[in-house]
Chain A
Amino acid sequence: MALSGLAIYKMLPQTNCKECGFPTCLAFAMKLAARQVELSACPYVSEETKAQLDSAAAPPIRLIALGRDSHKLEVGNETVIFRHEKTFYHQPGLFYRLSTALGDQEFSGLLDQIASYQVERVGVALRVDGVAIQDASGSAETFAKRVAQAAEKELALILISADPAVMEAGLKAVEGRAPLVYAATAENWEKMAALAHQYGAPLAVRGKDGDLEGLAALVQEITSKAKAEDLVLDPGTRGWADTLAAFTKIRRAAIKKNFRSLGYPVIAFPGEGAGADSLEMETMLAAQAIDKYGSLIVLDRFDKAALYSLLTLRQNIYTDPQKPIQVTPGLYEISSPNADSPLLVTTNFSLTYFSVAGEVEGSGRPAWLLVTDSEGMSVLTAWAAGKFDAERIAKAVRASGVTERIKHQKIVIPGFVASISGELEEELAGWEILVGPREAIGIPSFLRQMAA
């Protein structure tokens, strides 16, 4: 837990010299606690206090970067347990594991498919973040070759080998690329940590079967003796409940207890899960990792359909609940409407838009959907806030150019704002205002009745 303002105040000079720009040391301490000001603004703070406050101000889960430049992936730095408390910041990286046991053709084919996969959803391009190269043979030469091949793509990299010699060959092949070294264990950590340090690469630390005491001890060894700081944790769990428990404990220890030794991003291998003997089970375990605290997710079965469902889930869960995705205001054509098709109006809150558009589409009846700029609020909220009133709707109708595309002058408003129909009639002279259903689910039958 970060320090409170009062705790920080006790460490300050308490002279109220005002040189920091605040009237009192207490006021400055409060700003520090809120992380709105830098400690360096105080010229008189002691070195000891500096060290203490710096460590308290460090994020509870370290930000780790894999790769550089255009293929850089950052994970960690989360600050909450539940997304509604604030938001989740760094969506988990999705990786596919490619084994050195694959033949040339198969390896290149899969690598190409993974690297070129891109799909758009709600206006955002979704991609795979990287590949993990698995050493299957113990051959340093083969490993280095495959790693170098993967490095030609715009992808973040994870290198997987238990053999430090093989690992080094891989790291050498992609110097400066900062791949994740997987993994340091109780047996090999000294060598692996030295390699990670030497090549400026982040290091995964692997524990056993969810034994977090052992994992934390290993982390402490590595951070104190090997000076490796950019770590990723693998608690060693692979199933449903054990993984959920381990990931939850790690997240809570880091955020609620500010426990440094577990304050790192977490990696999941859903394809190794007990019972993950099918694409479906692997994908569902990966869904759990997205929902619950996974930061890097390494998949074994490349399948576009499964990937698309995971990319969509990741986009959902990592949407900032404080700033819901909005759709662009404007006129939307649903199922190719013509000049006689009905005109409906709603707000630009994404869920509202998708509900309404989905129901209109599902009804099988073409329609024009006018989406007003309600600053991302739903119908009732926007109406209450004055962002979805007669004036705004009339303005949106005129700005949309819909009058040139339809022959009628009828507009359907959501049932929840039936009370504005009088005002809207005044704003839109000559138009007929129809009151639609309150919930989107009522749209198909409403449209049916309208047509009858």
Chain B
Amino acid sequence: MSAAVPDVKEIWNGRIVEVTLGAGPDQGGTRRTTVTVGGQNTLPFLHFEGQMPHKPVVAVEVRDQAPDDWSELLVQAWGDVLSDPAAWAARAEELGAEVIALSLDSAHPERGDTGAKEARSTVRRVLEATGIPLIVYGPGQPDKDNEVLVAAAEEAAGERIALGNCEEKNYRTIVAAALANDQLVIAKTPIDVNLAKQLNVLIGDMRLSRDHIIMDPTTGALGYGLEYTYSVMERVRLAALSGDAALQQPMIVTAGYEAWRAKETRTGEGVPAEWGDWRTRSLLWEANTAVTLLETGADIVVLRHPDVIPLVKQAIEGLMQDSPVA
């Protein structure tokens, strides 16, 4: 028995730009593996409709000093390595991280106020301890971001690292550092299609080529605005596939950072019994935030808990299987 079912394939004119993170010895770097994301000309994982040549990848967050405000669950899971970014990054790689997302948190004026020298040293140590590509985040304070990200860009020259966050208020310095050292930038905007587009255009005006830009449309956690992120990312991706060149960058989402800010993951006591086991809830809070964002077009998912890494990778593997029937 068989009935004629209308063809529902969409024809998209646009394609996401391919961006490669990391450089091996033959490209002037020292990475054992590099990562390429983007290149798809269809909505996420709809293999019947178009190509998705590169799978989304898992990045793992590493900080340059032990976090003092992380959930006890994270502290226990990582243990001693939290106080040594090189050991932490190496451990993350062992656990399946495909990219390290190193946060130079100690450069924040209130959390250590370290400078370019320390940033260089941390970046160097993490590069030496791992063979996978690197993203380096500043502390999120414009002056210090400029200082340490320029240092990181110089120190990692040839490695094709990504510098974040590159925002409207500070993009010039960071884009200049990327241009000077052939690094990538992470262009971050606050949950808005037009702002995302505008920042990509501004960065493009500085002549950073499109294959050096990853966009961060800003993530919300499950229960904390996830639906806004979800719809903005869907709209960004639909516009990109419809041909809007200024939105055709791969997307990075900080699912771990967001999920572990939620009360559900931070607190194990004094919460309703219906919330269930703290650890199970927290892992699934992060994993379901990640899954939902993958469904909207995330190309790089930054995670925090070691046990969520294999879960999200298993989901990605399942999503990349091109079924011959469906």
Stretch from B17-25, B90-98, B272-280 at the A interface: B272-280
| Whole-angstrom distance between the Cβ of A383 and the nearest chain B Cβ | 16
A281 touches B326 (CB 8 A): no
Stretch from A15-23, A151-159, A302-310, A366-374 at the B interface: A302-310
What residue of chain B has the Cβ atom nearest to residue A240's Cβ?
B318
Give the contacting residue for A242; candidates B1, B8, B234, B323; CB below 8 A: B323
- Tell yes or no: A274 within 8 A of B by CB: yes
B45 touches A316 (CB 8 A): no
- Tell yes or no: B225 within 8 A of A by CB: yes
> Could you tell me which residues of chain B, from 282 to 326, have a CB within 8 Å of some CB in chain A?
283-285, 287-288, 291-292, 295, 311, 314-315, 318-323, 325-326
| Whole-angstrom distance between the Cβ of B45 and the nearest chain A Cβ | 5
Give the contacting residue for B284; candidates A217, A257, A306; CB below 8 A: A306
Give the contacting residue for B48; candidates A240, A245, A306; CB below 8 A: A245
- Tell yes or no: B201 within 8 A of A by CB: no
Given A218-B1, A309-B288, A117 contacting B274 (CB threshold 8 A) = yes
- Tell yes or no: B69 within 8 A of A by CB: yes
- Tell yes or no: A58 within 8 A of B by CB: no
A241 touches B47 (CB 8 A): yes
What residue of chain A has the Cβ atom nearest to residue B316's Cβ?
A240
Given A241-B318, A241-B319, A361-B263, A248 contacting B231 (CB threshold 8 A) = no
Chain B residue contacts of A201, Cβ below 8 A: none
Stretch from A101-109, A141-149, A208-216 at the B interface: A208-216
A240 touches B45 (CB 8 A): yes
Given A241-B47, A304-B274, A351 contacting B228 (CB threshold 8 A) = yes
Interface size class of A (residues with CB under 8 A): 35 or more
B1 touches A284 (CB 8 A): no
B326 touches A246 (CB 8 A): yes
User: CA separation between A242 and B47, bound complex, in Å?
Assistant: 9
- Tell yes or no: A244 within 8 A of B by CB: yes
- Tell yes or no: B87 within 8 A of A by CB: no
Give the contacting residue for A316; candidates B69, B140, B223; CB below 8 A: B223
User: CA separation between A61 and B272, bound complex, in Å?
Assistant: 37
Stretch from A43-51, A285-293, A421-429 at the B interface: A285-293
B274 touches A118 (CB 8 A): yes
Chain A residue contacts of B46, Cβ below 8 A: 244-245, 248
| Whole-angstrom distance between the Cβ of B305 and the nearest chain A Cβ | 12
- Tell yes or no: B220 within 8 A of A by CB: yes
A253 touches B6 (CB 8 A): yes
User: CA separation between A220 and B4, bound complex, in Å?
Assistant: 11
Chain B residue contacts of A246, Cβ below 8 A: 326
Chain B residue contacts of A306, Cβ below 8 A: 276, 280-281, 284
A244 touches B45 (CB 8 A): yes
Chain B residue contacts of A274, Cβ below 8 A: 318
B295 touches A84 (CB 8 A): no
User: CA separation between A219 and B2, bound complex, in Å?
Assistant: 10
Most chain B CB neighbours (cut-off 10 Å) among A82, A212, A241:
A241
Chain A residue contacts of B264, Cβ below 8 A: 308-309
User: CA separation between A410 and B57, bound complex, in Å?
Assistant: 48
Give the contacting residue for A317; candidates B227, B277, B285, B319; CB below 8 A: B227
> Could you tell me which residues of chain A, from 39 to 64, have a CB within 8 Å of some CB in chain B?
none
What residue of chain A has the Cβ atom nearest to residue B191's Cβ?
A351
- Tell yes or no: A431 within 8 A of B by CB: no
B314 touches A275 (CB 8 A): yes
Task: Digitize A181-192: 1 where CB-to-B-CB distance is under 8 Å, 0 elsewhere.
Answer: 000001000000
- Tell yes or no: B230 within 8 A of A by CB: yes
Give the contacting residue for B281; candidates A121, A308, A441; CB below 8 A: A308
What residue of chain A has the Cβ atom nearest to residue B223's Cβ?
A312
Task: Digitize A348-366: 1 where CB-to-B-CB distance is under 8 Å, 0 elsewhere.
Answer: 0011001100100110000
User: CA separation between A241 and B314, bound complex, in Å?
Assistant: 12
Given A317-B230, A441-B140, A220 contacting B314 (CB threshold 8 A) = no
- Tell yes or no: B235 within 8 A of A by CB: yes
A288 touches B291 (CB 8 A): yes
Chain A residue contacts of B231, Cβ below 8 A: 82-84, 321
- Tell yes or no: B190 within 8 A of A by CB: yes
User: CA separation between A439 and B168, bound complex, in Å?
Assistant: 14
B227 touches A316 (CB 8 A): yes
What residue of chain A has the Cβ atom nearest to residue B283's Cβ?
A280
| Whole-angstrom distance between the Cβ of B270 and the nearest chain A Cβ | 12
B140 touches A305 (CB 8 A): no
B140 touches A262 (CB 8 A): no
- Tell yes or no: A72 within 8 A of B by CB: no
User: CA separation between A275 and B319, bound complex, in Å?
Assistant: 12
What residue of chain A has the Cβ atom nearest to residue B319's Cβ?
A240
User: CA separation between A186 and B278, bound complex, in Å?
Assistant: 45
B224 touches A354 (CB 8 A): yes
Given A82-B238, A240-B319, A280-B283, A121 contacting B223 (CB threshold 8 A) = yes
Give the contacting residue for B47; candidates A209, A245, A262, A291; CB below 8 A: A245
A305 touches B275 (CB 8 A): yes
Chain B residue contacts of A441, Cβ below 8 A: 140
Most chain A CB neighbours (cut-off 10 Å) among B231, B234, B275, B326:
B326
Chain B residue contacts of A235, Cβ below 8 A: 326
B2 touches A305 (CB 8 A): no
Give the contacting residue for A257; candidates B6, B227, B273; CB below 8 A: B6
Given A244-B46, A448-B110, A280 contacting B228 (CB threshold 8 A) = no
A241 touches B227 (CB 8 A): no
| Whole-angstrom distance between the Cβ of A450 and the nearest chain B Cβ | 13
**What are 8 A-B contacts defined by CB distance under 8 Å?**
A212-B5, A219-B3, A240-B319, A280-B311, A291-B291, A303-B277, A309-B222, A316-B223
Closest 3 pairs between A and B when the two form their complex, measured CB to CB: A305-B276, A210-B326, A304-B276
With A117-B274, A284-B287, A316-B230 known, 10 other A-B pairs at CB within 8 A are: A237-B323, A239-B323, A240-B315, A242-B323, A244-B45, A249-B8, A304-B275, A305-B278, A309-B284, A362-B266
- Residues of chain B touching chain A, judged by Cβ–Cβ distance below 8 Å, are 1-6, 8, 45-48, 69, 110, 140, 190, 220, 222-228, 230-231, 234-235, 238, 261-264, 266, 272-278, 280-281, 283-285, 287-288, 291-292, 295, 311, 314-315, 318-323, 325-326
